[in-house]
Amino acid sequence: TTQIKQQLDRLKETLRQYEYHYHVLDNPLVPDAEYDRLMNELKNLEWQHPDLITTDSPTQRVGAKPLDGFAQITHEIPMLSLDNAFSDDDLDGFLRRIEDRIPVKSQQLEFCCEPKLDGLAVSILYVDGILIQAATRGDGNTGEDITANIRTIRNVPLKLNTPNPPARLEVRGEVFMPQQGFEQLNERALAKGEKTFANPRNAAAGSLRQLDPKITSQRPLVLNAYSIGVYESDDQLPTGHFERLQWLKSLGIPVNSEIKLAQGREQLLAFYQHIQQKRSSLGYDIDGTVLKVNDIALQEQLGFISKAPRWAIAYKFPAQEEMTI
């Protein structure tokens, strides 16, 4: 059966490359018909040799049976939320708070600028390059195990596109439903007298919370990664967030194509205005932008503000001149 195994491996690797070029590089290598032909060839060969089926095979996206419920998963690193800005003044406050804590003028600071996708935050764990587990953000500390549903999302790789994968890599990103897929889903639901969804975000949430992966598999969901959680490897990660996202893309993880580096206040505002102007033609819902200090070491120096209470404020006296007597 080594002959069969080699044939299976070749088919799986070829299909993975086709999926990578189609879903991540947005640049198909072959027509869909050729992809479908090869997928059927692999399905037939696996049907003849079920004992040789591997969990990372492109044929293994839709789980067997519906779940009774979702198990809970505790995030090793909490998935925190973001502070909001609603005006240029708020942005200036954000920049000033950074300058107060690190000796760098914001004009010299590089930022990774991203569209803020209006979907659901998820965490996907790859062990030795194989998709092992996926969870919703939940309350930030514990989420629901939605591994079976995440596996059905066509642009989520079941195996990372590298000969030497990290021991553990947690990818964090947004699962969303593009507007066209949302409209088609609601049309079909109406035609079948089923309930429709109010907006793409609810449709994505409802699709990920399906206990039956066969239903999730028929929903047009898309993943875009935006950060790395747990990482264990002999190799160091790049030292910039933007460069880390490009590295994820090289591994076969889809990353939004609007993401850019910007330096200083003017370029941040230019990115914000650029995305705002493109908003209606993106083909998916966004609710703003996410602007991140790009240098990871600076991110760690700046740290997190645990959500300060909204109902209390420390109104301080002006700093007293130290009297030297």
Ligand X SMILES: Cc1c[n+]2nc(N)[nH]c2nc1OC(C)C
| Pairing between β-strand 222-232 and β-strand 168-176 as defined by DSSP bridges | antiparallel
Based on CB atoms, which residue is closest to ligand X, 42 or 291? 291
Other CB atoms within 10 Å distance of the CB of residue 288: 18
Q: Rounded to an integer, what distance in angstroms lies between the CA atom of residue 261 and that of residue 255?
A: 14
Q: Rounded to an integer, what distance in angstroms lies between the CA atom of residue 211 and that of residue 222?
A: 19
Q: Are 169 and 230 within 8 A, CB to CB?
A: yes
Distance of closest approach, residue 233 Cβ to ligand X, in angstroms: 20
DSSP 92: H
136 counts as binding ligand X under rule CB under 6 A: no
Active-site annotation holder among 65, 116, 214, 249: 116
Based on CB atoms, which residue is closest to ligand X, 82 or 308? 82
Based on CB atoms, which residue is closest to ligand X, 35 or 272? 272
| Positive or negative torsion for Cα 229, 234, 240, 245 | negative
Based on CB atoms, which residue is closest to ligand X, 35 or 271? 271
Phi and psi of 166, rounded to 5°?
-65, 150
Let me know if 116 is a catalytic residue: yes
Distance of closest approach, residue 145 Cβ to ligand X, in angstroms: 20
227 counts as binding ligand X under rule CB under 6 A: yes
Q: Rounded to an integer, what distance in angstroms lies between the CA atom of residue 232 and that of residue 92?
A: 36
81 counts as binding ligand X under rule CB under 6 A: yes
Distance of closest approach, residue 189 Cβ to ligand X, in angstroms: 28
Give the x-and-dash track for 97-116 against ligand X (CB under 6 A): -----------------x-x
Based on CB atoms, which residue is closest to ligand X, 15 or 228? 228
Quick one: which of 52, 282, 290, 296 contacts ligand X (CB under 6 A)?
290
Other CB atoms within 10 Å distance of the CB of residue 193: 6
Quick one: which of 35, 111, 226, 271 contacts ligand X (CB under 6 A)?
226
DSSP 42-70: HHHHHHH-GGG--TTSTT--S-SS--SSP
Distance of closest approach, residue 229 Cβ to ligand X, in angstroms: 9
Q: Tell me the number of residues near ligand X by CB under 6 A.
A: 9
Count CA atoms within 13 Å of residue 28 on its CB side.
6
- Which residues are at the interface with ligand X (CB under 6 A)? 81-82, 114, 116, 121, 226-227, 290, 292
**Residues assigned a catalytic role:** 116
